[in-house]
Amino acid sequence: MSEELTTAELFDAIGTRYEEAFGHRPVVDAALRELIEVLPPSARVLDIGSGTGRPAAAELAAAGHRVTGIDVSGEMVRIAREQVPGAEFVRADVREWETAPGTWDAVCAFFSFVQLSRAETERVLGRIAGWLAPGGRFALVTVPADIEDVPIEFLGHSIRVTSFSADALADRVRVAGFEVTGTREERFAPGKPGAEPEEHLLISARKPG
């Protein structure tokens, strides 16, 4: 394997290749449709791990919502600002970023947690629950698997990944303070040579109140 990269180093290196390989995932499209159907006009939406800004921030902004994306990669933030001028993008690590409690109508996190430890994921889920307004929506998409700190090759780079099984992750979302309103699983084949199909999981949730 090549030298392992941090999350910021990885996404600085791959840039728009990420969108080319993973930009058309059905489960993300389903999550965005759900959010757009239920959000009030001009909702404040936080996109964690916003990447290139597409499709999530782009579609939510086009629907009239006030979108802020945060991403640990400066290169991804640069690309997103160019591609989605109707949203705001900030370079930040979700584990450290601060925002006022109860001010977001929705939070989406699409494949944002796989390079966090399990303990970090649990803490971030609790932080998200605090950031949402009562009744706010949370859409989480990931690759469900009972794995921890496993080395893999990703778009030509070495990284370590951690995840939960579908049931275990849904339980942790509930423990963080959410009502799980639905789940959806899809198989997806990335648009890259020799890629194996992978499982994708959407957990839709709501903050009570």
Residue-wise pLDDT for 30-56, tens only, equals 999 999 999 999 999 999 999 999 999
pLDDT confidence of residue 68: 98
Q: How confident is the model at residue 157 (pLDDT cuts 50, 70, 90)?
A: confident
**Distances from the Cα of 85 to the Cα of 57, 66, 179, angstroms:** 10, 12, 33
Q: Say whether pTM exceeds 0.85.
A: yes
Give pLDDT tens digits for 181-195: 999 999 877 655 555
Pick the closest to residue 41 from 12, 57, 64 (CA basis): 64
pLDDT of residue 1: 46
Q: pLDDT grade, residue 8 (50/70/90)? A: confident
Q: What pLDDT does 192 receive?
A: 53
Residue 23 reports pLDDT greater than 70:
no
For the chain, the average pLDDT equals 91
Higher pLDDT pick, 42 / 15: 42
Q: What's the rounded Cα separation, in Å, for the pair 60 and 87?
A: 9
Q: How confident is the model at residue 89 (pLDDT cuts 50, 70, 90)?
A: very high
Cα–Cα distance for residue pair 9/17, rounded to 1 Å: 14
pLDDT band at 199 (very low <50, low <70, confident <90, very high): very high
3-state secondary structure of 108: strand
Query: Which residue would you say has higher pLDDT here, 136 or 25?
Result: 136
pLDDT of residue 61: 98
Q: Which backbone phi and psi does 71 adopt, to 5 degrees?
A: -150, 145
% of the chain with per-residue pLDDT over 70:
89
Q: What is the pLDDT of residue 190?
A: 67
Report in angstroms the alpha-carbon separations of 201 from 6, 14, 150. 24, 24, 19
pLDDT of residue 2: 55
CA atoms within 13 A on the CB side of 9: 9
Q: Which of 100, 99, 107, 110 is nearest to 176 (CA)?
A: 107
The mean per-residue pLDDT over the stretch 1-11 comes to 69
